[in-house]
Amino acid sequence: MNTHTAELHCVNCHASEQDTPLLHLRSNGNELWICSQCLPTLIHAPQKLAGKIEHTDRIKPAPHHHE
Ligand SMILES: [Zn+2]
């Protein structure tokens, strides 16, 4: 694993793990990190992360349970 642990940043907003908890993702063989604040975007509006995470067009947005 060549992810250097000293500088992990959210793939979307570039927050560091010192700023906010980061969650590890794998996408198409790539290792990515996303922060807890951007995770809802990935779940509910993955198309907003197009260009940052590959193949977001293949992800079906999850519906809000309270709708
Ligand atoms: Zn983020």
- Ligand 1 centre to CA of 29 (Å) is 20
The values of phi and psi at residue 46, to 5°, are -60, -25
- Ligand 1 centre to CA of 16 (Å) is 8
Looking at residue 2, its pLDDT comes to 52
Q: In terms of pTM, does the model score above 0.95?
A: no
Return the SS3 of 23: strand
Question: Could you tell me the residue ranges of all domains in the chain?
Answer: 22-58
**CA 56, 62, 65 angle in degrees (round to 5)?**
160
- Ligand 1 centre to CA of 67 (Å) is 25
Q: Which pLDDT band, with edges at 50, 70 and 90, does 66 fall under? A: low
pLDDT in tens, 10-41: 999 999 999 999 999 998 899 999 999 999 99
- Ligand 1 centre to CA of 52 (Å) is 11
Sign for the CA dihedral angle at 51, 43, 8, 32 comes to: negative
- Ligand 1 centre to CA of 1 (Å) is 22
